[in-house]
Structure 1
């Protein structure tokens, strides 16, 4: 009481401001996480690897963040997506064989807890926009039953970018959903634009000062069929090969979509507490316009061209070391425990994935000394990689 009676008005004001600052620190939300996945993007199809590619938005993020030059994925869509969201190799999940087709009642088993479910336990709001490709033969296997608060996108792996029809001669159908409802309102709109607009709507609906956001945006781009608005293809008018010209235009359309998302994140005030991850799901299909030079192989192969993915991380505040190329070994299964660590959680023991946040954040040597490319007894192929020993 004696101390309080001796305090001046200025002292009271100082104390109030100090207590409020302490309270603000205590109430600061966990880092926002935006995970963007490109589909079928080749190693040589991004500007930071190939100056002839027009990807200014991706280049700016990559060059001001950390370029991951030894980031490995699986050779096709479904296996990579299962590893990304579970932290397990596909052969431990039962999804190591190619992809889930429209007529195949396959799915990611319910005994695996997915990344958005773990982030929900850490009070994140979780949203997905884009391509699922992890099963839909029962509602329980679809995104809003696997940890996502909302879902806009496609269940399967390939469809028309405008009509959103699979075009499958065996099981044709319209493949676009908003949560559980068939969503026809975007028929005729290019999917990259639809996905970016929905992502922006989500960004604007969340208060970055009060809620932690996990936004998963696995684009359809740049998977075949080769389709893009003409203005993007015209950027590459000097390319004579039609497939390559269209494919490159699709990459630039994807880049603009990412730019729209990052602009919204900036305007809404996320950037001071954000980690953004960009990766491809597999190498580029050279028979559909992609380019993996100088890597050997293509999508669907275990060679580097099929499994070494273009990737980077960006953050304005969370990285201790930026603007460099990180060559430490990283595998797609590592995102699960790594992102849980960023969110303030911890993965349960037994995962194939390793928490490599120290490697990404500060550039320390990776704790990963090997990984399994895949083990597929049906296709009769398997491979492992070990770190070189000096």
Structure 2
């Protein structure tokens, strides 16, 4: 062999990323996303009202991401996840997208599934989309996913998969069925409980996966968002009451029942990965898209305690959310990562992990955080733009390595409240964690690691739940009557993670305030105006056999049969 060719080949082999057991074996990537789930609803955070054994086991065996930030509401959060960009770059920073609204991710934008597909991945989505459906190119399979089973809108009924939308321009309500397998209306699945159905479809994807092809699977659950009649729906009311009758608030009881179904889904997915010999070379991430809805029409019974704020709020209750990661590829496991991360970081992190060239990514706000998470090193992030809504003027930014947050204004006083502390109704069920499908699946791996035991679980939970210590709230009495930010507020998240004390008038903090205001002003200059639109009267499901269809591709939709007049 020519000497130059020999060295070129050798260097090429050396430079290739090594994952799993074999050289160049790219990792499977599985993201499981809960909807409107409170940061206090995972029991590793210290709540003694319910135990979430599979989610906890995933984090205890891997990494608990203590300061994982998202956007405050559904559409912006999902746009940030799939693009690696703050929503102000894509015009998606406003209200959640309505069914029948012609709004979508910009054409030509790089998305995580498309980038992974270009690297040879098969890409699949099961569950919620909520990023546009006026045209087929706006839906998941138009944005990089090979397959999609689920719904395009913000939520549906847990059994009937129907959703209503108010059409302001004509003062009417449109109602339609929204459950698709690609573009086929999945009427035959109606009546099945959503969490079970989406889990079943996710397991089918895993089972049918070509073992020689890396897989990206996003399972974006309806749970624990409200469903029909603005309530979280449960599989069986009697079972719910028998299991969780100790919870007095019926809304909360329903929520907990649905939450445990979500936790079981995590267990079944991880179990299936192990059965298919895929877990040993997988990265499994669980997170919520934003905080729990504490008030209003979509109050679901979730808890963000002791953090301040509901879904929609830029206080940490709306944007600092539960997240864990497990992978045998982690260099360090079984610890709590306490540095700041943002949902935009997942695109560059996972793309790089899959062997992608980060220099090819355009205009990322996210950072490749794999080494930071895997080796417990400092985050590559100095700041997080919480959001800018130019219509309301509501904005916020976190700076100084996550220590200080400045907020300008309020989404509304009702969303910037503190939720109630949960009652401690049960003992933390450590045997349930040790015997969970997630923990059992991980124990079956041939990887050398220190497996969980009672002591390690207690130690990790103590670290994870330190936020629930009342002493961490700087001024606890302000929880009952918090100062609402009518203009600028400053909070020290290290000393006061509950955001009880506004430091905007503190003379010693004026340099910090000026710096954060200046950074926020820079982002204002870069903002792309939001693309929110009214519901299009032409989207009426009555025209399309009672279903939500890609109405701007009208010729591709199933039309309502015209009844003959006899």
When normalised by structure 2's length, the TM-score is 0.63
Q: Quick one: distance in 2 between partners of 1:74 and 1:256?
A: 26
Task: Give the drift of 1:206.
Answer: 1.0
Partner residue of 2:105 out of 108, 129, 132: 108
Aligned partners of 2:287 and 2:185: how far apart in 1?
A: 28
Aligned to 2:197: 194
Distance 1:362 1:277 in 2: 17
1:131 aligns with 2:128: yes
Give distance in 2, aligned partners of 1:233 and 1:309. Answer: 28
Query: Shift of residue 29 of structure 1?
Result: 2.4
Q: Tell me whether 1:242 sits opposite 2:264 in the alignment.
A: no
Question: 1:27 and 1:318, CA in 2 relative to 1: closer, same or farther beyond 3 A?
Answer: closer
Paired residues of 1:73 and 1:282 also in contact (CA < 8 A): yes
Deviation at 1:295, TM superposition (A): 0.2
Match of 1:350 in 2: 363
Task: Tell me the distance in 1 between the aligned counterparts of 2:72 and 2:187.
Answer: 32
Query: Which stretch shifts more, 132-141 or 51-60?
Result: 51-60
1:185 to partner: Cα distance:
1.5
Relative to structure 1, the CA distance from residue 325 to residue 380 in structure 2 (aligned partners, 3 Å threshold; closer, same or farther) is same
The CA RMSD over aligned residues, in Å, is 1.7
Shift of residue 62 of structure 1? 1.2
The Cα offsets for residues 30-68 of structure 1, whole Å up to 9 and x where unpaired, read as 000001111000011111112322311111111111000
2:49 corresponds to 1:43 = no
Name the structure 2 match of 1:341.
352
Given that 1:62 and 1:312 are in contact with CA atoms closer than 8 Å, whether structure 2 keeps it comes out as: yes
Shift of 1:160: 0.6
Q: Give the SS at the match of 1:130.
A: strand
1:229 to 235, 238, 250: 235
Q: Aligned pair in 2 of structure 1 residues 139, 256: CA closer, same or farther (>3 Å)? A: same
Q: Could you tell which deviates more after superposition, 224-233 or 195-204?
A: 224-233
Q: Larger deviation: 52-61 or 69-78?
A: 52-61
Query: How many residues align structurally?
Result: 366
Contact 2:98 2:165 in 1 (8 A): no
Match of 1:29 in 2: 25
Distance 1:233 1:272, change over 3 A: farther
1:75-125, CA deviations, whole angstroms, 9 ceiling, x for partnerless residues? 100000000000000011100001100132111111211101000111001
SS at match of 2:177: coil
Q: Which residue of 2 aligns with 1:285?
A: 293
| Aligned-pair CA distance for 1:27 | 6.0
Match of residue 282, structure 2, among 256, 274, 278 = 274
Q: Which residue of the partner structure matches residue 332 of structure 1?
A: 343
Query: Is residue 361 from structure 1 mapped to residue 369 from structure 2 by the alignment?
Result: no
Structure 1 distance, partners of 2:370, 2:22, is 23
Q: SS in structure 1 opposite 2:174?
A: coil
- Secondary structure of 2:284's aligned partner: strand
Match of 2:222 in 1: 220
- 1:25, 1:227 → 2: CA distance? 43
Q: Residue 225 of structure 2 aligns to a residue in which SS?
A: coil
Which residue in the other structure is 2:422 paired with?
none
Matched, 1:163 2:153: no
Deviation at 1:235, TM superposition (A): 2.5
Provide the rounded CA distance (Å) in 1 between the counterparts of 2:250 and 2:200: 28
Pair 1:88–1:233, CA change in 2 (3 A): farther
Q: Is this contact kept in 2: 1:232–1:250, CA < 8 A?
A: no
1:240, 1:126 → 2: CA distance?
Answer: 43
Is 2:240–2:253's contact at 8 Å kept on the other side of the alignment? no
Map 1:312-323 onto structure 2 (within 5 A).
Answer: 312-315=324-327, 317-323=328-334
Q: Which residue of 1 aligns with 2:484?
A: none
Structure 2 alignment gaps of length 5 or more: 1-17, 167-172, 405-493, 495-566
| Conserved 8 A contact 2:158-2:193 | yes
CA distance in 1, matches of 2:357, 2:63: 23
The answer to whether the Cα contact below 8 Å between 1:233 and 1:248 also exists between their aligned partners in 2 is: no
Distance 1:233 1:80, change over 3 A: farther
Residue number in structure 1 paired with 2:389: 376
Distance 1:365 1:30 in 2: 25
TM-score, normalisation: structure 1:
0.91
Partner of 2:320: 308
Alignment match, 1:97: 94
1:242-287 per-position Cα deviation (integer Å, ceiling 9, x unaligned): 1010011110010111111111111111111010011100001113
Partners of 1:330 and 1:54 lie apart in 2 by: 25
Determine whether 1:211 maps to 2:213: yes
